[in-house]
Amino acid sequence: MTMEERESSGHALIVPYPTQGHINPMLQFAKRIAAHGLRVTAALTRFIANTTSPPPAAAASGIAFATISDGFDSGGFSEASGIPTYLAGLESAGARTLGELLGSLAAGGQPVTVVVYDSFLPWAAGVAQRHGAAAASFFTQSVAVNAAYCHLWEGRLRLPVTAAVEGLPGLLRMEPEELPSFFTESAAPYAVYLELVLNQFKDLEKADFMLINSFYELEPMATDWLKTTRPARTIGPTVPSAYLDGRIPGDSTYGVQLLPPETSACTAWLAARPPLSAVYVSFGSIAEISAAQTAELAHGLAAAGRPFLWVVRPSEASKLPPGFATGAAAAGGLVVGWAPQLEVLASGAVGCFVTHCGWNSTAEALVAGVPMVTVAQWTDQPTDAKYVEEEWGVGVRARKGEGGLVGRAEVERCVREVMEGERSEGMRRRAAEWKEAARRAVAAGGSSDRNVVEFVERYR
């Protein structure tokens, strides 16, 4: 009898922070532990459950869905007056309704044995304990970034960081601007985010596991260091199985989508492009790019002379310069409001990904074997970008110039460097190697798979 076939009385409740970049990695982890035989329920906020597409239940078969409240059921984050108000509502309404959910699942004969909570919700560990469930914290960002936050939490760094930091266990030498942005910008309005990322370590001793969305081979130094004091386990990359080991039947979709992806337009456009000829450009679900920066990007992309597929969210579209409009093929490119990013990266037509280096996008590029031009914006992105260029050798960092902008000439230079420059072949080769390493990590017996199995065995 295989492990998957054994009867399990274990029941994991997954509680993500309610944004796409946090929900999807946790749903992918949920699918993996469900495939190993654990019963899994995912708790989404009512707003997310009612508004994302496809509806969550369709996005992840094999997982039950339930709702909790963030106190803003009709509008989610945009209904709150700002991030502090939102986080306060999320904690008070979230803790109350999570407790109610745990109570009702137990009353219905399906008691939860472990609550897997997003590390941005440290209060969930106490709720789990009060209901007799174990707790495991899920960190969506890279191991290196979390190691940096851990050093700050433990007092090895002082803010703001103004000089290069060398010799921090687990980390490369870091210039101040290579650390997560809150190390140099920690005053309002960023203070609340700094508190959020530091509080990931609050009450962590209540958790049996510190699950991290990365894989050991990618970040051995930072993982080994974190493991000396924390139950750190890499379980990623959390990308649908179809793009990795293919072990979960039918697992080709990610989870929830913030906006409806323009799949047919993207697919048709990519199908007309020769292999590795196109540039894909996206800045994730949150970053707001200034009109001046958008114009520099537009002109830089056009000057690079390669066909480009550029995601500009509808809320950002008014910043596009003349000649570049959403839905229109212009200046050698197609601009869409939202793309099926993984499909695009894995299509074979994309030779370069111009990215803000959010951790999900970075991991997706590694899984698809696509080299990057990094245009980091804030939070963990500058650190991800440093590792992409220096440690993993799969990209070029675009440097800021006048006015703190990445200028058009720099955009053009970086795209050319990745597509046809001297280093291009090496980047492509290493990208292919990381793609294979990611696949091995999640495949049966790989480093991430062993950690997933350890988790399942503990609570089954």
Contact residues: ligand UDX, CB under 6 A:
20-21, 24, 140-141, 261, 282, 284-287, 311, 338-339, 341-342, 358-361, 364, 379-381
CB nearer ligand UDX, residue 41 or residue 213: 213
Contact between residue 279 and residue 273 where contact means Cβ atoms under 8 Å apart = no
* Least gap, CB of 402 to ligand UDX (angstroms): 25
Residue 351: which residues within 8 A CB-CB, separation 6 or more? 276, 277, 278, 279, 306, 370, 371, 418, 419, 428
CA 251 to chain centre: 18
Kindly list the distances between the CA atom of residue 328 and the CA atoms of 30, 89, 270, 313, 337, in Å, as whole numbers in the listed order. 38, 41, 15, 14, 11
260 burial level (CB within 10 Å; 0-12, 13-18, 19+): exposed
Residue nearest to ligand UDX (CB): 358
DSSP character at residue 174: B
* Least gap, CB of 287 to ligand UDX (angstroms): 6
CB nearer ligand UDX, residue 319 or residue 416: 319
* Least gap, CB of 198 to ligand UDX (angstroms): 16
Q: Which two tokens stand for residue 418?
A: 């990745």
DSSP character at residue 372: E
CB nearer ligand UDX, residue 41 or residue 142: 142
CB nearer ligand UDX, residue 160 or residue 260: 260
CB nearer ligand UDX, residue 196 or residue 427: 196
- Helix-, strand-, coil-residue percentages of the chain, each rounded to 5: 45, 15, 40
* Least gap, CB of 364 to ligand UDX (angstroms): 5
Residue 27: which residues within 8 A CB-CB, separation 6 or more? 14, 16, 42, 56, 59, 60, 63, 254, 255, 256
CB nearer ligand UDX, residue 261 or residue 395: 261
* Least gap, CB of 262 to ligand UDX (angstroms): 9
* Least gap, CB of 354 to ligand UDX (angstroms): 12
Alpha-carbon torsion (312, 314, 316, 321), positive or negative = positive
